[in-house]
Structure 1
């Protein structure tokens, strides 16, 4: 049996149809139908709903009511929470596809695969989290039929690390605080102070092709923030 959504939970919803005062949705994480009332959309969008929300678009909403359909709201959700939820969803979709592909290659019956996916989600929160635990060397219980493909999962989730040096300067009296605030712009990147206003940035990712680009992008956000406060910054890959 699939997990059930809960009031207050953030979910990813795919837009199916846009009406003048509501939006019909599909909630792929739960395979349920949902809807969004125009009153629960930030005011900027209400004026021209169909221009701002399109069929096929993925949005992040908060569950406010569960009846014959799940009602969500777009209000009161921070940009950070939206980005985090979409990232989690993307990682889970990729992990499930990888799991299904490896199982198909090893001729494991689809019915067993779907049952195992539901079990992993229930016991570990998601297929992605289960595979991540496996990659870190933690013991994950699989049904006997899946024991022969555990090593494939480990290889498929190999982590790559990218490093860079970020140097920030501010001559203002509250320069230290401004630098700290600027570093708060980082998402998914570890910042370690190494002296002389320099920081070592470390990014771990399962996608080596986007690692450098992502690290540069995160560093640029910090530099942009400090520049707005009259400071300067430089970044280089190591």
Structure 2
């Protein structure tokens, strides 16, 4: 591996799993006993907004009871100490990377702890429920706030920034992702095409393991601190 100046890290549900945050894939397509298509699509929200808001109100409350784990802490340490370029792109909608201290971060699938006003397009920090149809803090219109989460069928956030970083990267690392959800599952090929070295850290081989130059398998709370220690020693 040549000199590494620029790193892009993709994190997925496997990074937060050890903090007690489940992914719908754990239940064979069920997410807290709900089918994804019933709670995580624009069509579901149009069909039954009360159900969708209740579901996200529960998850928003639950996330605030969780704590970052050793993987989040290690990535925050890398962010603080790595003197080159670094971007953490997370598919996770929790705030555990931020609470651990990470700053060079993009939430490509949005954030549970934000609300999006479909009247004025403002995004506001939001810790409480949305099911009671509160007013938007920015424009004052009531009843048009929704979770600021990218649902299936919607475009992830800041894709131009992400691809720009992938095209500049010397190293791409995928941590705790299934390799099944696009466009994130294609990031390894984008990085490889630009000459980056690629590494997978995952509990088990992902659907895209064969695209990586190297892979290490085991819990994120063990693999990530060990890898970060190696990088900072270099």
TM-score normalised to structure 2 length: 0.21
Bigger radius of gyration, 1 or 2? Answer: 1
More helix by share: 1
Higher RCO, Cα 8 Å, sep 6+: 2
